Copies of this chain bind each other. A is one copy, B any other.
Amino acid sequence: MSELFEFGKGILESQPFSVLLGTELEVFEPGTAVLTLKVREELKQQHGFVHGGVLSYLADNALTYAGGSVLGDSVTSEFKINYLRPAIGRKLVAKATVLSSGRNQAVCQCNVVAVSDDGERIVAVAQGTITKAGPKT
């Protein structure tokens, strides 16, 4: 387990909201982050699909991780998400990558995939700006 991955796992474990939801860090390398989430009843909305807010949380967090992989401790400044289809399945996988980065900010994209017995389907795409936390250098 790389130092970067351990750093990332530590951050995730210190986010009470990520612990509440059950998010796991699967990949954390320079320029890439993959977060996963087991789908359970309490993550759903009124139609039985995963709540859009869960997808946006997961995309937001994966974007922050991707940016953080090159910037260090970071926050999401802004992002945009398009929901492509209802999220059904047993697991969500959010993969984010860095498109461009400077000293203080990175622009990242993220795909959220729902994994079910029928295979994998992309359910949301997101794009946003990640900013280094703390004093700017």
Contact = CB atoms under 8 A, between A and B. Distances in A.
Nearest to A41: B16
A20 B46 contact: no
A38 to B, nearest CB: 14
Contacts of A83: 75-78
Contact of A60 (B14, B53, B107, B133): B53
Classify chain A's interface size: 35 or more
Contacts of A64: 52
Nearest to A104: B136
A116 interface: no
Interface of A: 11, 14-20, 41-47, 51-54, 56-58, 60-61, 64, 75-85, 99-100, 103-105, 107, 109, 122, 125, 127-129, 133, 136
7 interchain residue pairs of minimum CB distance: A53-B57, A17-B51, A80-B80, A84-B100, A14-B46, A56-B56, A78-B82
